[in-house]
A and B are shown apart, each in its own frame.
Chain A
Amino acid sequence: MKKLINDPGDVVSEALRGMAAAHPDRLRVDLENRIVYRKDAPRPGKVGLISGGGSGHEPMHGGFVGLGMLDAACAGEVFTSPVPDQMMAATKAVDAGAGVLHIVKNYTGDVMNFEMAAELAAADAGTEVLSVVTNDDVAVQDSLYTAGRRGVGVTVLLEKIVGAAAEEGRPLQEVADLAKRVNENGRSMGMALTSCTVPAAGKPTFELAENEMEVGIGIHGEPGRQRLPLAPAREIAGMLVDPVVSDLPYQQGDAVIAFVNGMGGTPLIELYLMYNEVAQLLDRAGITVARSLVGNYITSLEMAGCSVTLLKVDDELVRLWDAPVNTPGLRWGA
Chain B
Amino acid sequence: MGVDSFVNWLRDTAGSLHENAAYLTELDSAIGDADHGANMDRGFQAVVGLLDETTFDSADDLLKKAGMTLVSKVGGASGPLYGTFFLRFGTALAGADLTPETLGKALHAGVEGVLARGKAELGDKTMYDAWAPALDAYDAAVADGADLGTALGAAAEAAAKGRDATIPLVARKGRASYLGDRSAGHQDPGATSTTLILESAARTLP
Contact = CB atoms under 8 A, between A and B. Distances in A.
B33 A205 contact: yes
B35 A80 contact: yes
Interface stretch (B56-64, B71-79, B90-98): B71-79
Contacts of B182: 223, 225
Interface in B43-81: 71-81
Given A78-B35, A222-B179, A83 B29 contact: no
15 contacts: A80-B39, A83-B72, A83-B79, A85-B71, A108-B76, A108-B175, A109-B77, A112-B81, A115-B80, A116-B80, A140-B178, A198-B34, A220-B32, A222-B179, A225-B179
B206 interface: no
- A: contact size bracket: 35 or more
Contact of B76 (A81, A206, A221): A81
Contacts, number: 117
Interface of B: 25, 29-35, 38-39, 42, 71-81, 117-118, 170-175, 177-180, 182
A77 B33 contact: no
A146 B172 contact: yes
Interface string A211-228: 000000010111101000
Interface of A: 54, 76-85, 107-109, 112-113, 115-116, 139-140, 142, 145-147, 150, 198, 200-201, 203, 205-206, 218, 220-223, 225
A113 B80 contact: yes
> What 9 pairs across the A-B complex have the smallest Cβ distances?
A146-B177, A109-B76, A220-B33, A200-B38, A112-B80, A201-B34, A109-B77, A80-B75, A108-B77
Contacts of B71: 83-85, 116
Contacts of B177: 145-147
Contacts of B179: 222-223, 225
A82 B175 contact: no
Contact of A198 (B35, B78, B172, B174): B35
A107 B79 contact: no
A147 B75 contact: no
Contact of B25 (A142, A145, A201, A220): A201
A83 B74 CA distance: 7
Nearest to A219: B33
A145 B80 CA distance: 22
Given A81-B76, A83-B72, A223-B182, A147 B175 contact: yes
B178 A201 contact: no
B173 A147 contact: yes
A192 to B, nearest CB: 13
Which of A116, A222, A223 counts the most chain B CB atoms within 10 A?
A: A222
Given A79-B33, A147-B174, A223-B179, A201 B72 contact: no
Given A83-B73, A83-B74, A142-B180, A220 B175 contact: yes
